[in-house]
Structure formats: C-alpha cells, structure tokens
Amino acid sequence: MTFPFISLQCYKLSDARGVVSEALRVPSYCKHVNNPKEPSVLFSVGYALKDLPKMLRSLVKLSNENSERRLRKDAIVFVAGAASFPVNPEAIEGSREHQIAYAKWKLLTLEFLKEQFQKDLFCVIEHTDERFAHLHFFVTPKLRLDYKIVCDAHPGRNSNLANQNLLGKEKQALYRKAMSAFLDLYFKKVGSKMGWQRKSPTPRKRVSREQWKEQHRSKSDVIILQQLGYSADEIFNLTGIEVPRMAPVFVPPKPTFSPKFF
C-alpha cells in the first residue's frame, strides 16, 4: 500500500544559495545525484528560481533599513519543501498507468500548494533524476507594513512561536499536532484521491536521536565486518545483530584423472 509524503523545512538567508543551487542541479551542489537532470518548472510567479537568493537579500536589506530592529542573521526568511511520488522515473516512463497516476498526482499537489501558501508560493519544480520522482516548492515570507519580515508557512514553527511560554514536552506535543494536521490536509486533498493510505498499519517504532545514531552505527559495523569476511555467527557475537546467512557457494570437485593429449 502507498502512503503520501510531503515535508517542510525552514531556512535562513545564508542557506538560500545552497538550497537553490541543489534544486537547480548546479554541479558542485548535487554530488549525491548520479545523473543530474535539469528540473522542470511547474509553477512560477514570474521570476526564475535562481533569482530567489537575490530577492531575499533585497527583502532583508529593505527590512533592516526601515524597521526599528534589524533582522537576526539566523532568522528564518523562507520555507522550502518536497513532495514525493512513490514510483521511480523509469517505471513511470514504462507504464501508461503510472504516467496517468503521476500526472494526476502532480496536478493535485500543485493545487494543494497554491491553496495552502497562496501568494507566498514562489516556485514549484520537478525532479526525475533520483530514486523517486518528486517536486520541490519554495515559499517566500511576508513584508508587513512596519517592514518586519514574517515567515509563517511552516505550521510547526507557527505553533512554537505561539506557545513560547510552554515547557518543552508540551510545546513539542503541539508542534507534532500542527504538523500532523498539515499531513492530514495533504492526505485529504491529494493522498485520498490517489487511493493511498494516510498511515502505515505497521508504523516504525519511534526512538530517540541517540538510539537512532546507535542503530546506524551498528549497521555500519555489520557492513564492515561482512566486507572483512566475518561469518554470521561471528557478527552476531560481536554486535548482537542477526544477519541473513549466505547459502554455501557450490565449488565443483577437481577432476581426479589426468587429461590425455593426442
């Protein structure tokens, strides 16, 4: 069964160049992509994505010159996100059914983004050069009449700002509630119309950050031990992790006779 995926991330002004360069597949910023392809623009307010960092710098400068308090260097000035289609690009190209579903998903997702972010939606682009086809979207901040910059496109961050007087756990619970509501809305507008499920019937167990790091360290150790030729039993004794046992490789017996030459 398929599940919808969409994520949001807040960024500072100093992040703009890197985020935009990676999205535009500038060679030095997309080393994680084996065969980078130029993205397709699905939506734009009339400006190129490459102009976004310059526009944000101008906006921050205008705010600093006219407001009573200068903007902090680590202030959030834009939001970017990604929505992924759970089929790889090769499979989409080879299947008429996938092509129709992909076109429908793009249309629904684009409508959702326009409705959610309205005039603040700056650009939406499409990537088909990674494991799954996906869209990247960029949302600009608002400039108030008093020249203060307001970036309110991230529901979780809005929740944190509105509940600054609360303790950590209470604040985190409200953050998760706000983000869950955003995902619920995306499912209602997009996922349900694609015939997808909102949540997995067997969700992964939540772990702390330290537990997550330890799990990944353990997996790395297993890979190294396998490369060094350790057996499954030896790896289990060293790490406590069970790994699949490899079937013994069949080696044909050597001939017991001497070949004759005529």
Question: Average pLDDT for residues 14-23, to the nearest whole number?
Answer: 94
- How confident is the model over 87-96, as pLDDT tens digits? 989 999 999 9
CATH architecture of the domain with residue range 5-194:
2-Layer Sandwich (3.30)
Alpha helix ranges (H) inside 67-131? 89-93, 96-117
Cβ–Cβ under 8 Å, residues 114 and 120: no
- CA–CA separation, 120 and 45 (whole Å): 9
- How confident is the model over 99-134, as pLDDT tens digits? 999 999 999 999 999 999 999 999 999 999 998 999
Predicted confidence (pLDDT) at residue 64 exceeds the cutoff of 50: yes
Closest CA to 80 of 58, 106, 53, 54: 53
CA distances, 242 to each of 70, 199, 218, 235, 247 (Å)? 56, 28, 11, 8, 15
The token pair at 4 is 């919808």
The token pair at 52 is 């976004």
- CA–CA separation, 31 and 49 (whole Å): 20
- CA–CA separation, 54 and 163 (whole Å): 33
Band (247; pLDDT cuts 50, 70, 90):
very low
Read off φ and ψ for residue 219, nearest 5 degrees.
-65, -40
- How confident is the model over 206-215, as pLDDT tens digits? 666 666 556 6
- How confident is the model over 142-188, as pLDDT tens digits? 999 989 999 999 999 989 888 888 887 888 899 999 999 999 999 99
List every span in the chain annotated with CATH 3.30.930: 5-194
What pTM was computed for the model? 0.75
- CA–CA separation, 234 and 70 (whole Å): 60
